[in-house]
Structure 1
Amino acid sequence: MLTRDIEAFMRFAREVGADFGPATARAAFLVTPEGFARAEQSAQDNRYMQAQQHFDAEAALRQHRQLHAALATELPVFCFPGRAETPDAVFPNNVFATAPGRLIVGRMRHEVRQREAQRSDIRGFFHNLLGYREIDLSTQPHPCELTGALVIDRARGLGYCGLSERCDQAGAQRMHEAFGLRATLMFDLAAGEYHSNVLLAVLAGRAALICAAGFADPAVPVAIAGLYAPHALMLSDGEQAAFAGNAIALREDSLWMSAHAAHALTAASRQQLAAAGLCVREVRLDAIEAGGGSLRCCVAEVF
């Protein structure tokens, strides 16, 4: 099922079990922020990106090493080197994603990011070493920026796809098919928003972080919250601005977000996460957040 019909999607979603696959990844990979700088093409539709004077390449590299070490305490994490000609490559989850036995390569909107999809080392690692089948969406014309645009409940096989200049409806269909999802709900993002994963996180298949103001139709976040109740957190504008929605669970009992995001969480939000059995873990990433993304954007999951 691929639909904009909220009620039809929710009727289906309420009936499916958490038996589609593992709720969290078995490994993850990162790409180092070599040549980290403001990408002017990406800045055209990413309101979270800061001015060039706020970019500190050395600090970004240092914080990225700390991120790698921190995540590796929970699961295997490997890292590919970044390249100066791809300054946004520190956010690989938009370009590369996996499903069991499959590597999916996305179609990026901007040419500066389309270069990332051409990397033979990343493709070769999955195809030649792991034996993954490659599904290459990068050569077709419809933007589909993978797990930036598409938030996935891996336990249930459900997708939540925000449509914007970074993902159109045809791109959403291609991703739905590539991931082999049971059902995907499509919805428009609010004006000025570019990716769903700064507005929504599904955590270990049983909780959700939701930034309602980022959805064009207010009925969408309400419906999603109903599906994950009582462990659905409606984040405040302040929590959203600090990237609290850009979080990820890499195992059943914890979630990761940037230190800036974690410090913005209200006491009520922390209590709700604790009630869901999720411990908040944090890494300082302010240098990387200058690029318009945060911790979840840095992590490409391996299923």
Structure 2
Amino acid sequence: MITRDPRRFAALAAGLAPDFGPATARAAFLVAPDGFALAGESASDNRYMAGAGAFDAPRALAQHRALHQALSATLPTACFAGHADTPDALFPNNVFATARPDAAVDAAAAPRLVVGRMRHPVRQREAARSDIRAWFTDMLGYEPVDLSGQPHPCELTGALVIDRARGIGIVGLSERCDETGARLMHEAFGLRATLLLELAAGEYHANVVLAILAGRAVLAAPAGFATPAALDALDALYPGRVIRLSAKEHAAFAGNAIALDAGTVWMSAGAGAALSDATRAALAAAGFAVRTVEMEAIEAAGGSLRCCVGEVF
């Protein structure tokens, strides 16, 4: 089911067992910020991006390396080189993502590499990378599902936030993902149900304002959605575990967080510093410790920690 009706979505999703697949990834991949610089096309619809003078390439590289080291201590984490002609490539989860078909239907089905269709030409170049494609298809045996050549933008797990345990997703509609693109992603990931929500004016990706953590809890910035009340539907799925972020937390990228195991939520140091006592207590009650990495140089490019992490399921 794919719908714009939050109540219909919640009614179906509430009855789904968490047997779609593992709630968290078994590995991760990154792309280094080589050639880190302002991408003018991306800046046209990303209000979080700083001006060209704020881009500190050496510091971004150092912080990205620290992120790689931190994640590698938790799970296998590969890092591909970046290129000067793709300055946004350090956010690979928008372009490349992985999926496993519904385990309750066919646990032996081959996993998929999904390649997204980016809105801007500067990012469309990333989808042509033969090294990342070959790593998944030739080395790991993933079946490719290539959406990059069709006309509808669908920026994968930037636009689509997935509960991998239940096989459900929430798409934030914007210039970076239209309704047809959302339907293509729903099919490519093989999801059981997907809810379409309009993002608020000025927002570009759902994963900046929404995170589903290991299928157990949610971080949500209500101001990031055109109809904030639509998030109330999540209360039935995650009772007592929908943590609504303040304007300060939202602005600091606290919604751009990720759980890579059952007990840890990762976010930038700036996001961690912005968390209220109530948010920290709610995360602790849900069983999550908060771990952070300095990311302020990278955040000049308009994304934060979760944007940097491609998940391997």
TM-score category of the 2 structures, normalised to the smaller one: over 0.9
Which residue identity does 1:30 align to in structure 2? L
Q: Following the alignment from structure 1 to structure 2, what is the Cα–Cα distance between the partners of residues 283 and 276? A: 21
Structure 2 segments unaligned to the other structure (5+ residues): 101-110
Q: Following the alignment from structure 1 to structure 2, what is the Cα–Cα distance between the partners of residues 53 and 295? A: 21
Partners of 1:225 and 1:233 within 8 A in 2: no
Match of 1:73 in 2: 73
User: How many corresponding residue pairs?
Assistant: 303
Q: Following the alignment from structure 1 to structure 2, what is the Cα–Cα distance between the partners of residues 128 and 242? A: 39
Which residue of the other structure, out of 283, 286, 295, is the alignment partner of 1:273? 283
Partners of 2:31 and 2:91 within 8 A in 1: yes
What secondary structure, in the 3-state scheme, does the structure 1 residue paired with 2:259 have? strand
Paired residues for 1:215-254 under 5 Å? 215-254=225-264
Residues 1:184 and 2:194 are matched in the alignment? yes
Q: Displacement of 1:6 after TM fit?
A: 1.2
Q: Following the alignment from structure 2 to structure 1, what is the Cα–Cα distance between the partners of residues 153 and 143? A: 21
Q: TM-score, normalised by structure 1?
A: 0.99
Match of 2:143 in 1: 133
What secondary structure, in the 3-state scheme, does the structure 2 residue paired with 1:228 have? coil
1:175-229 CA distance string (max 9 Å, x none): 0000000000001001110000000000010000000001101221222244212
Residues 1:144 and 2:154 are matched in the alignment? yes
Q: Following the alignment from structure 1 to structure 2, what is the Cα–Cα distance between the partners of residues 232 and 6? A: 15
Q: Following the alignment from structure 1 to structure 2, what is the Cα–Cα distance between the partners of residues 133 and 198? A: 28
Paired residues for 1:157-176 under 5 Å? 157-176=167-186
**Greater shift after overlay, 227-236 or 267-276?**
227-236
What secondary structure, in the 3-state scheme, does the structure 1 residue paired with 2:133 have? helix
Q: Following the alignment from structure 1 to structure 2, what is the Cα–Cα distance between the partners of residues 122 and 41? A: 23
Q: Following the alignment from structure 2 to structure 1, what is the Cα–Cα distance between the partners of residues 235 and 295? A: 28
Match of 2:25 in 1: 25
Q: Displacement of 1:257 after TM fit?
A: 0.1
Which residue identity does 1:291 align to in structure 2? A
Structure 1 segments unaligned to the other structure (5+ residues): none
Match of 1:93 in 2: 93
Match of 2:218 in 1: 208
Q: Which 4+ residue blocks in structure 1 deviate beyond 3 angstroms?
A: none
Q: Following the alignment from structure 1 to structure 2, what is the Cα–Cα distance between the partners of residues 225 and 62? A: 39
Which residue identity does 1:91 align to in structure 2? F
Q: Give the CA RMSD over aligned residues.
A: 0.6
